[in-house]
Structure 1
Amino acid sequence: MRRPVLDLRQVTKTYGAGDTAVHAVAGVDLVVERGDYVAVMGASGSGKSTLMNIVGCLDAPSSGRYLLDGVDVGRLQERQLSLVRNRKIGFVFQSFNLLARTSAVENVELPLAYAGVRPAERRRRALAALDRVGLAGRVGHHPNELSGGQQQRVAVARAIVNEPVLLLADEPTGALDSRSTADMLDLFDTLNASGRTLVIITHEDEVAARARRVVRMRDGEIQTDVRSAARELAP
């Protein structure tokens, strides 16, 4: 039996103490199997962003246990966490987070450079990732020479170039127009169909509707966790 990509067990995150304590995440249990496509939704203050930071190993839970691809991240030192983030998680952010003075292919190469991959191999893999997201003709362009949708595609290429076990996206369509949003969601569908595991944080129903499973949070807890029968039947 394959181990899940994510396994959160009674995870909490509390800021402050006593009467002023804020329970941002309150006893969350969440399992995401390999190849799943999950949208996490919730109003501002629901805990979804805090949960994303924990899942992305950007913040540590106050209590509970988190296993990422079978690794208990609570037992890792900071250097080990950095390696896990680079090798096992691909991040996509609303604001793209591209280096302005660096070409598309050089932006995509960054995770490989941090991992110590040799220049020729990282160039080959970065070009392949850009081709996969439909930007083979824009590899030498800088971010300011690309549309918002194209910049986000570069960000996705950078996120998948290391072949991570998890693609974690935080409001990935928040800065895109409707056409670019549709294109990005089509790309996510394609990546998931190829076996990629996706967890997307979003407040947009249109984005969540493309996922196979929707998790809704409220007051730091998972309120509903519903699998889409229609998406499960889709090819």
Structure 2
Amino acid sequence: MKPPAKRGEASAQARRTTAHAEPHPVLRVQDLFMIYGEGDAQVQALRGVSLDVYQGDYVAIMGASGSGKSTLMNILGCLDVPTSGRYLIDGVDVGALDERRLAILRNRKIGFVFQSFNLIPRMSALANVELPLTYGGVGTAERRTRALAALDQVGLADRIHHDPNQLSGGQQQRVAVARALVTAPALLLADEPTGNLDTKSTADVLEILDQLNDSGRTIVLITHEDDVAAHAKRVIRLVDGQIIDDLRQAPVDGPPPRPLKAAR
């Protein structure tokens, strides 16, 4: 009789089992164009972007200001509509949805983490994390249970009753990550999640994202920092609204690269 697998071995075995299943594109965009303005003032923010992101991947999208990365993120988050092209999330054609169904999809399928945290100032960490569930019509008891679990997952079980102004920047961003996770979304979108954080808080948030991806969470983040992108399994670079580089740093069904921390 074989001895029970250790935690790391069990995690690797689970990934191998998943790898034998048919790959599942959580996110698919085909020939996306985004055009602003008309005539001589017309600007093509995106020019024929096509991209598949599979379950369990961790993708960093990089580019200079004006490259189109923020426009692409807004489309992926269903916050904007492309001029042309097709976008599917978890197999659902976003362009075929009316406003009500789009709002439901956004609430259930996508978790957002913003650079500026976007927490409600006069609400506790717990209440902030419960918000997406409130909008989704989840009952009080289940809301509380899921929000507590999400805050525990990001290491803030002892800060649940603190308002945002009683938390550090890194702690506020961890609340934002918990809020993004609480609906168990198919996709976690992070827009410059470490942009307002110091070095220690950046490392803490990136470690949480690594752990989430290692447990199977699909993550797409925007960053202009190479050190942040080094945590991703795949790095995509945009220039003038087009993908010019697509680098695979680690397999989809393996752990994230987890770069070595610099010596202190």
Paired residues for 1:207-226 under 5 Å: 207-226=228-247
Q: How many residues align?
A: 235
- Counterpart secondary structure, 2:197: coil
> What's the counterpart of residue 217 of structure 2?
196
- Counterpart secondary structure, 1:26: strand
How far apart are the structure 2 equivalents of 1:30 and 1:138? 39
How far apart are the structure 1 equivalents of 2:41 and 2:213? 41
- Counterpart secondary structure, 1:195: coil
Cα deviation 1:96-142 (Å, max 9, x = unaligned): 00000000000000000000000111001000000000000000000
Q: TM-score, normalised by structure 2?
A: 0.87
- Counterpart secondary structure, 1:164: coil
Letter in 2 for 1:197: T
Q: Where do 4+ consecutive residues of structure 1 move more than 2 Å?
A: 229-235
Q: TM-score, normalised by structure 1?
A: 0.97
Tell whether 2:150 aligns with 1:129.
yes
How far apart are the structure 1 equivalents of 2:116 and 2:40? 35
Cα deviation 1:22-57 (Å, max 9, x = unaligned): 000100010000000000000000000000000000
> What's the counterpart of residue 169 of structure 2?
148
- Counterpart secondary structure, 1:5: strand
How far apart are the structure 1 equivalents of 2:241 and 2:103? 26
How far apart are the structure 1 equivalents of 2:166 and 2:35? 42
How far apart are the structure 2 equivalents of 1:126 and 1:220? 38
Gaps in structure 1 of 5+ consecutive residues: none
- Aligned counterpart in structure 1 of residue 96 of structure 2, from 68, 75, 99: 75
Letter in 1 for 2:137: G
Greater displacement, 90-99 / 12-21: 12-21
Tell whether 2:44 aligns with 1:36.
no
- Aligned counterpart in structure 2 of residue 167 of structure 1, from 170, 185, 188: 188
Instruction: Rate the CA distance shift 1:229–1:154 in 2: closer, same or farther, 3 A.
Output: closer
- Aligned counterpart in structure 1 of residue 117 of structure 2, from 72, 96, 102: 96
Structure 1 residue 20: deviation in Å? 1.5
> What's the counterpart of residue 113 of structure 1?
134
Letter in 1 for 2:108: R
Kindly report the root-mean-square deviation, in angstroms, between the aligned alpha carbons of the 2 structures: 1.4
